[in-house]
Amino acid sequence: MKKTIFTGSAAAMITPMHPDQSIDYPTFGKLIEEQIAGGTDALVICGTTGESSTMTDEEHVEAIAFAVKQTAHRVPVIAGAGSNDTRYAIWLSKEAQAAGADALLQVTPYYNKTSQAGLVRHFTQIADATDLPVILYNVPSRTGVDIKPQTYLELSKHPNIVAAKEANGNLSEIAHAISLCGDQLDIYSGNDDQIVPILSLGGKGVISVLADVMPRQAHAICQLYFDGKVKESAQLQLELLPLIHALFSDVNPIPVKEALNLMGYAAGPCREPLVPMSEAGRAALLQVLKDYKLVD
């Protein structure tokens, strides 16, 4: 049995930006403190929600190092270090380890894609390159690649590959993967609207965009379930569905950054090619935030 990185809710952190789109570290520090105070169980830095795809190498490593220092070992820091270039992912993973990250998040190769055999080779080489535990990230809607259950089984044999963030939306495939891998691979929901279903299959929690705006509630969905209060956990999941859907009403992280801006945090803009929400979209998001009393 492998060591679990975290149970509960890990916030998929945004990277706040100044109006000129440089990283706003004072606000970043404030958001990290808000997450820890809100009961978040881990932080994911430089993932999709953190806009890692538009960061320079220096920014990427600097953001990880900043989060490690700010967090000061109070919760695990999971560094997004994935790439569609195996060599680059290895380099970035080594940099993340040197910066003090507790674990790595490794997305499937995108655009150039690869076969299932290629996934095994790609992730194995990355996992061999550092001592850090690795969370695989399966998000076919963005990458065009889907990790199959048998591939998970093969990858779970590596001592450093300990978990997967599953965002393929296919509960049947996720159940199959869990049945094959058992305690050799922890599964986290990558979709906020599937937290409870994945927990019911043996999942360990969620890597959550919802947690950016409601850390206590994202944590509570998981904790209630772990405490045996399954009905209450499911009810909270259902109560939050309109907000979850609103946070994905445009390309992530456009809505969650806009939500945080509306809530009074200086989340700033997204980097191009991501553009601001339409006026109609922003108005609809604002109404949902008002419904949940996140803004006046």
Q: Which residues are catalytic?
A: 137, 165
- The Cα 52–Cα 63 span in angstroms is 10
Closest CA to 52 of 248, 246, 270, 262: 270
Bridge partner list, 106: 136
Closest CA to 101 of 68, 134, 147, 143: 68
- The Cα 205–Cα 236 span in angstroms is 15
Q: Cα–Cα distances in Å, from 136 out to 69, 125, 156, 160, 240?
A: 24, 13, 10, 11, 26
Are 24 and 224 spatial neighbours (Cβ–Cβ below 8 Å)?
Answer: no
